[in-house]
């Protein structure tokens, strides 16, 4: 496979911009405690035909968790906390914008690491079923008892070419 993090990032931006995906991602993140980058990774890998067992997903998620917990999440918390503090102050808004850029850069680096985990994987037939397998493996690893496939339907639909 490939370690093309640029392709994963482009996929994520395209999918996230699709109607209904942002709200689904925020729900998965804020209500269910899931890492949106890992959800998107499950979909991207599945769209390439790469399926993960629960064990393989545990390895991938474990490698990504420290970066998410110690870098991405603290930046997100700072950015969100600043939201109500910067109402009419251009300097504070500029700082919040810098924090947002740092958060996006941190997520891009996380995605680069995730993309590298596809090295050596042999793809099968891409499609919804492979994406569902990956999402269920991730939900199991994350200890999420939600119906992840149902919650991810807009993301799954946006992950595959129309047709």
pLDDT tens readout for residues 56-111? 999 999 989 999 999 999 999 999 998 877 667 888 889 999 999 999 999 999 99
Q: Apex CA 157: angle with CA 36 and CA 144, to 5°?
A: 40
CA atoms within 13 A on the CB side of 134: 27
pTM: 0.90
Q: Where are the beta strands (DSSP E) in 64-158?
A: none
Q: Which tens digit of pLDDT belongs to each residue from 96-145?
A: 999 999 999 999 999 999 999 888 888 888 899 999 999 999 999 999 98
The closest of 50, 27, 86, 65 to 141, measured between CA atoms, is 65
pLDDT of 121 = 85
């Amino acid at each position: 496979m490939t370690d093309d993090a640029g392709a994963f990032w482009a996929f994520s931006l395209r999918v996230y911009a699709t109607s209904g995906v942002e709200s689904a991602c925020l729900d998965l993140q804020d209500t269910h405690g899931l890492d949106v980058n890992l959800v998107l990774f499950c979909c991207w890998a599945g769209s390439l035909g790469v399926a993960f067992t629960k064990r393989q997903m545990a390895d991938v998620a474990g490698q990504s968790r420290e970066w998410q917990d110690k870098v991405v999440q603290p930046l997100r918390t700072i950015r969100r906390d600043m939201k109500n503090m910067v109402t009419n102050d251009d300097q504070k808004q500029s700082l919040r914008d810098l924090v947002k850029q740092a958060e996006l850069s941190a997520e891009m680096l996380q995605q680069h690491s995730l993309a590298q985990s596809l090295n050596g994987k042999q793809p099968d037939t891409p499609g919804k079923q492979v994406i569902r397998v990956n999402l269920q493996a991730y939900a199991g690893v994350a200890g999420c008892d939600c119906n992840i496939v149902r919650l991810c339907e807009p993301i799954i639909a946006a992950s595959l070419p129309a047709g």
